Structures are given as C-alpha cells and as structure tokens.
Chain A
Amino acid sequence: MSATMAPPKGLEFLPVLEKNLGGRVTAREGLAADVPTLVTDAASLHETARFLRDDPAAAYDLFLDLASADLSRLPGAQAPKTGERFQANYILYSTKRNAHLRLKVNLPEKEPSVPTLTDVWPAANWFEREAWDLMGIDFKGHPNQKRLLTHGGFVGHALRKDYDAKQRWLCTEEDLLQTELAAQTDEPSDMFETTTLNFGPSQPATHGTLRIVMRLDGETIVAAESECGYLHRCFEKMSEAHTYSQVFPYTDRLNYCSPMLNNNGYARAIESLLGVTPPPRALAVRTILGEFSRVMDHLVCLAANLVDIGGLTNFWYAYQPREEIYSLLEACSGARLTVSYGRIGGLAKDVPGNFVPWCREIIKGTRERISDVETLVTRNKIVWNRFRGTGVVTKEQALAWGFTGPCLRASGVPFDLRKDQPYEWYGEVDFDVPVMTEGDNYARYLVRVEEMKQSLRIIEQILDKLPGGPVRSDDYRVILPPKEMVYNEMEALIYHFKLVFEGVKVPPGEIYSATEGANGELGFSVISDGSGFPYRLKVRPPCFPLFAAFEKIIKGGMVSDAVATLGLLNIIAGELDR
C-alpha cells in the first residue's frame, strides 16, 4: 500500500506502523464482512505486536485467538508461495476502539517458527501451545511449549493436512503422569513443607475433564498447573471432513449447555462468507432461542457450582426452568439438548404455532425460579464468605489473560458483542449490560444472575414484535428447497442433489466472525477453498483463556476457593478442548 492512499477504515495507525517497520507490514484486502488484516513476517512480528498493543491509535489490548492453518492443499490463487506452507493468524481486539484485527504471518514449510507473543499478551500462552500441538508451529521463547490437547503418546500434528484423521495413538498412564507439573514453586527451599495434590480429571468439581495439579502449603495453593485435552474430540479436523451444513451437529456439542448459541455463531460466520442474509423471522427466532440458551447456560453454571460448594437445593430449582426450555427447544427442533436447529440461510423449520404464548409462560416460570435461587444465595452469609474476595481478577489481569464474557464484565470491562457490534436482533432491543468492578466470585455470580434477567427482557421485547414470513432463505444454492418443490419440480431436485452431495459451495475466502456466547466471545475463523467442505475451521472458545488463567487465579488461595472459582468461571470442556 502506498503512503499516499488513505489507510483502510479501522487501520488509521497504519502509516506510523509502516514507517516504523520499513514496509514489512502490509494491509490486505479481504471480504467486507471480515475483520481488517495486516500481514507481516516472522522477524518483525514481535515489534508489530508491541506497537499494536502500545500505540494509543491501535490499542489492541485483548488477544482473542491464534488460528493456525496449513495452506498446502489450497488451490489456485489461494495457494501459498513456493516454500511457504503454514500461516498463523492472530485475532486481536481493542476494547477502547471496539475493533478487531487479524495479524497474519506466513511461515515456511520447513521448520515453521515465530517468536512467542506471550510477553506481549500473556493470553497467547495456551493458544501457542495449542498451535504447536495441532499444527506443529514452533514458538521461539515460549515458556512451556508442550502438548496441550493431545496426549503424551501422540506423534505428529493432527491438523496438518497430511495427517490421517483416523490415526490414533495409544495413551498409557505413563503418558499422563507429568511429574514436572507444579514442580516449580516460588520457594524451592520450601519443598519439605509442601505437598502435591492431583485434582481431577475425574473429580466432581472438575466436571470430569479438567485436571489441575497443585502444590499445597497446608491448605494454601503455592503453585498450580492446569491441563486440558481430556475431551479433545477433534472438532476442527472433523469439520474439515464434513460439508458446511454437516458441521451444525458438531457445533451443538461445543458448548453443550447452550447449543443454540453455537448454531447461531457458526451460521453467522458462514452466511457472512456467502453474503446471504436469512429472513428477519429466522434471525428473531435465533435471538430468542439463543437468549434462552444463555439462561440455561448460566443456570447450569450456578446450579453446578452451588452443588460443588454444598448448596444442593438450588440445583433442583435451577433445573426446572431448564426442563421447560428443553421442551420448547424440542418442539422447535426435535431434540432437547443437541438442537441442530440452525441452517445456513435460516432455520430447519418454523417454530410451532403456540411459540409466543409458550415463551411468555417459560419466562414467567424462569423468573420465579431465579428468584428462588436468589433468595437462597444472594444474601446468604455462607455464600458471601465463600464468594467474596476469592478468585479475584483485576481489570488489567482480565484483559491480559484474554477474558471475555461475564468474567470480563465482572472485572469491570463493559465489553459485550451484543452491545458493541450488534448482530441478529440485538440492535433492536433495550437491555442492560451488567458490569462489576470487584472481579471476585461474587461479582461473577451477580453478573450472571443479572444477565439471565436481561436475557428474559430481550426475549420479551422480541416476542412483542416477532415478524412473520419465512424462516428459510429462498436462495436454493445454500439451503435445501422445500419438500413440495423437491418432490414435484426437477430444478429444485437438482439443487437438492447438489446441496446434499457437494455441500454449499462457499466462495474462496477467509473470515473471522464472532458472536457473544454464554461464556464470552465465540469466534469462528473459516478459510474456504471454494468447495463444499470448510478448508479450515478454527473456533475461538471463550473458555480456553479462562481455564488457561485458572492456575494463576487460584495461586495463593485455598483449595476450597479454587472449587468455587472453577465453577464460576464456568469451564465447559466441550468448547475448551473441542
């Protein structure tokens, strides 16, 4: 880009950056719906990253995602240059400017390596480990570069295009025991005073799939190291082997507490890539069911967490509205939990006839049950003693560790994609974004309770003006034509055959599309090669940075506080490990 041209919108700082780096950074044109992209090289990555974080005109303070890709099978114009193969895409966000950015680095085929950005954004730590594990990109200077999602007996890098998706490796108990876990204490001379505690993965408070090894001094945690991957179901590799529409059932199982929100996020990503807009009724129904899913997610979080700290009654109360919402979801989609209700360009079917009164009834019942939980918990001193002042995350820490969602808002940053970049119907409704400054468990609890109330408020407003019309787009290149046409018209039958056998032909391109999941920003980075299958699909799971920071949050606290903190961070293993 020449200096005389005006920098692209959102990249006003670019001339300064170009001047500093002598042309080693360029902006790249992309889709209008995509986030702005800067391309740099491995040598100047570190300097660029520092500039992007520190320059007041850039101020990218939140590290959201690292989406690595293996470009070796891309055809035609998209194919990498000779000798190049890998790509690292850093997704950044500026809370001050409400802007996303993709920082792209192309890497060679032989020994791909980039300097680590852990010292710029601490949140990069686990994302880089994941990229090393699954893609084999080496991060120079990384403090702890080892496998994260796959087990110790694994050979190869699973997301490389030449890795056979069906090749498994035996994991023995040996491969799990990592003796260096939690060996690093602050006071090595104190070794005789401390003891090591293995916490999980099969422990009720860790929900079966998280593992934390702690070093304890008495009951105080002096060091901890968390490990995930106990539910690594290869979502990303599986999605490369399935057509765009077949990925919907897989997205259900990412955050299985709020499947509809994942459906929405994925559908939005692919629709932006295609340039298709679903009918307004479909968007309204997506918003309604998405908000119900958010309520369910928060209810599970609170119910499970309160059981963990000993309050069983709330569990019964919190699960009742869930069952009611399940009934509604089942009547709409056909399944209680894994709805698979979204389709590219709309929804699977229209909602049942009694949808609006039914929703209102559920809202009424849910409000009662939330009030039950509040009566038992909010002003209960035992809960105060357990929640207040434990698991404290300051605003600066939350940003540095890449928090999003309720946990970030509980630390005082009012970042909510529904407010900042409204999508679906969120621009049409009034709602509050609750924020607290304490950053402790109690703040996270209060924020979640308030968010549930606001979700119900959003639903009520949309119900008042729920538009009529179809819920499926009439663009039969992306969505299956109605059955009447398939049975009776040859043209529709041809579209039907092509869609099922070849999938939706998404034009070549790249997109990062984010929605507000129940736990924070749920992003989908998609690379399309023009075929019916996603070339690369990377999810930005909201839980991932939360759990990455968990070992730092609990340091210095008690074991019992760690349990309360883990519950209120709401780690969902399905999206953590994918």
Chain B
Amino acid sequence: MKITGPSLPIAPGKIAPPIAPGVPSTGGADFLTTKLDVAVQWAQSNSLWPMPFGTACCAIEFMSVVSSHYDLARFGAEVVRFSPRQADLLIVAGTVVDKLAPVLKKIYDQMSEPKWVISMGVCACTGGFYRAYHVVQGVDEIVPVDVYVAGCPPTPENLILGIMMLQKKIQSGELARHREAKTFVPIRVGEDPVTAIPAYSNAVMAHVPGRHALPGMPPSAEDEATPGGKREMDAEIAAARGRENP
C-alpha cells in the first residue's frame, strides 16, 4: 500500500538500519513463498489489532484517536482488544511505573506472535520528566519497542504516523526480527550509555528473593556532595535491607 500525502516525511535519519539484514538469497526458487510473505505482510500491516495498555494522559489521547475526529478505522486498526491474546499491537500509552512493570511484561508475553509494540508518549518512551523513584525510565526496559512516538501526550496525528511507520516496517519484512526483551540502556542526553540494568525485563517476572535496588539514573555530582545524598542513602538502604531480611 502506498501512503501518499505531503505529511509523511520519514526522514532518512528516522529509519533505523534493518535489524535482521542479509537473509541469504536463494535465487528465484522461493518466488512463491516470497510473494506469499508480501501478501501476509500486507494483510498484517493493514489489520493491526491494538491492545491499548493505557495508563495515563496518553490513554485519553488514544481515545481521541479511535473516536470520530481521527477514526483509526481508516487504517484497519479500529478493533481495540483489551485481551492481549486477541491483539497483535501493544500500544503502551502513558507512564509505566515500577509497580506496573510486571503487569506490562505479562501482557506482552500473553500476546501471540507476531506482535509489535508502540510506545506512545514520552513517559512510556523514556520516563519523560518523571526522573523519579517509582517510574520506569522507558518501557524498553521491559518490552522491545518498535516505534517511539514523542509528545506529551502526542497529538493523534503523531500516533497515526507511528502506526503508519509500523505498517511500513511490517511490509519491509520486519517479521524476521529477533524479538526478545532488551536489556535496558538508559540514554542521557549527550552522553554515552551510562548504567545498564541487567536483565530487568526478566527479573520482574522471576522470583527474586529479597529487595533489589535498581540503579535507575546515575546520581548527579550534587547528590554525591550533599549530606544525606546518594552515599548516605546507600548506607541507609543497606541498613534497611538488614532490617527487612535478617
């Protein structure tokens, strides 16, 4: 399907390099299966059934997207399913906090393949301006994200653009992608990745005895310097752990 219109300027910089490049070509022998793939991709991209994991403000804008002014039905994605087993597109709309992280992971695991994830809004993408003790700093800590939609909340057009970008991605054979949850690498503006939370995505679902402090964001120099800052806090946490888990 060709998307026309002046307003789909997917700049070259916006498209990530193909993640599973170089599926070896076998000549013309698999002409039929290739064509079948194209048909399947066409069908999949035009009948995305979203499961809105709506938690906050972005969920309200998602409702705008499905209501009459924007009408997501024009993209074949109007069948909003609240059951993960019936959906193939997870739209994470809104802030995901640590308490909700296991729920999100479970819902993602319950969706059947093939499945895609759109992270709607900056809270879902990076945590937004909630650099705080209870907020997941981007849902890619937990689930792999295909398209990040910026905005707080994004305009409905922007979400539709995200869905169209996803459709293009599906049509380009994105199915071959290895889709396991990533380990989280927080990106701080202008810095290289600093701290990695090892296998957080697996840990939230596993039975992990005891209490675990997440590195979260690296403490600023100010935190280190102030009395009662990070360093003293560490000691206190250690003491607290001792109390709770003798």
Contacts and interface: CB of A to CB of B under 8 A. Distances in A.
B203 A316 contact: no
Interface stretch (B3-11, B14-22, B24-32, B93-101): B93-101
A171 B94 contact: no
Interface stretch (A41-49, A116-124, A198-206, A518-526): A198-206
Contacts of B213: 155, 167-170
Interface stretch (A228-236, A494-502, A563-571): A228-236
Contacts of B132: 165-166, 233-234, 237-238
Interface stretch (B39-47, B63-71, B160-168, B171-179): B63-71
B99 A150 contact: yes
Contacts of B230: 164, 167
Contacts of B223: 164, 166
B133 A171 contact: no
Given A230-B55, A336-B61, A208 B94 contact: yes
A250 B95 CA distance: 13
A176 B97 CA distance: 13
A322 interface: yes
Nearest to A259: B57
A238 B217 CA distance: 14
A233 B205 contact: no
A492 interface: no
A169 B98 contact: yes
A322 B61 CA distance: 11
Contact of A229 (B99, B133, B211): B99
B-side interface size class: 35 or more
B221 interface: no
Contact of B214 (A170, A208, A249): A170
Contacts of A574: 56-57
A231 B132 CA distance: 12
Given A162-B233, A230-B100, A249-B129, A168 B216 contact: yes
Given A230-B97, A319-B67, A338-B57, A169 B129 contact: no
Contacts of A166: 131-133, 216-217, 219, 223
Contacts of B237: 155-156, 167
Given A232-B134, A315-B67, A323-B69, A151 B94 contact: no
A171 B204 contact: yes
B228 A234 contact: no
A208 B95 CA distance: 11
A238 B57 CA distance: 18
A162 B232 contact: yes
Contact of A202 (B57, B68, B103): B103
B50 interface: no
B23 interface: no
Interface in B226-246: 228-230, 232-233, 236-237, 240-241, 244
Contacts of A326: 64
A201 B100 CA distance: 8
A203 B82 contact: yes
Interface in B141-189: 152-153, 155
A322 B236 contact: no
A231 B133 CA distance: 12
A142 interface: no
A161 B61 CA distance: 35
Given A155-B237, A164-B229, A172 B206 contact: yes
B218 to A, nearest CB: 8
A573 interface: yes
B244 A155 contact: yes
B130 interface: yes
Q: Is the interface of A mostly helix, strand, loop or mixed?
A: loop
A170 B241 contact: no
B98 A167 contact: no
Nearest to B206: A172
Interface in B80-123: 82, 94-95, 97-103, 106-107, 123
B35 interface: no
B153 A231 contact: no
B33 to A, nearest CB: 37
A111 to B, nearest CB: 13
B140 to A, nearest CB: 16
Contacts of B2: none
A168 B134 contact: yes
Between A167, A230, A304, the greatest number of chain B beta carbons within 10 A of the residue's beta carbon is seen for: A167
Contacts of A322: 64
B214 to A, nearest CB: 4
Contact of B203 (A172, A209, A304): A172
A171 B95 CA distance: 16
B60 A172 contact: no
Nearest to B127: A233
Nearest to A255: B57
A250 to B, nearest CB: 8
A335 B59 CA distance: 16
Contacts of A229: 97, 99
Contacts of B82: 202-204
B161 to A, nearest CB: 16
Interface string A251-285: 01100110000000000000000000000000000
B138 interface: no
Contact of B59 (A164, A175, A203, A208): A208
Contact of B60 (A168, A230, A256): A256
A151 B61 contact: no
B236 to A, nearest CB: 7
Contacts of B74: none
B208 interface: yes
Contacts of A202: 53, 82, 103, 107
A137 interface: no
A165 B226 CA distance: 13
A302 interface: no
A368 to B, nearest CB: 14
Nearest to B104: A202
Contacts of B99: 150-151, 171, 176, 229-230, 232
B99 to A, nearest CB: 4
Nearest to B69: A323
B228 A156 contact: no
B97 A233 contact: yes
Between A173, A304, A573, the greatest number of chain B beta carbons within 10 A of the residue's beta carbon is seen for: A173
Given A208-B55, A256-B56, A231 B63 contact: no
A153 B135 CA distance: 14
Nearest to B95: A233
B240 to A, nearest CB: 5
A168 B55 contact: no
A316 B60 CA distance: 14
A336 B69 CA distance: 14
A154 B64 CA distance: 35
21 contacts: A155-B237, A163-B133, A163-B233, A168-B135, A168-B213, A169-B211, A170-B98, A171-B101, A172-B205, A202-B107, A231-B95, A231-B97, A233-B134, A234-B134, A238-B131, A249-B129, A300-B63, A316-B68, A319-B69, A320-B69, A574-B56
Closest 3 CB pairs of A and B: A234-B132, A256-B57, A170-B212
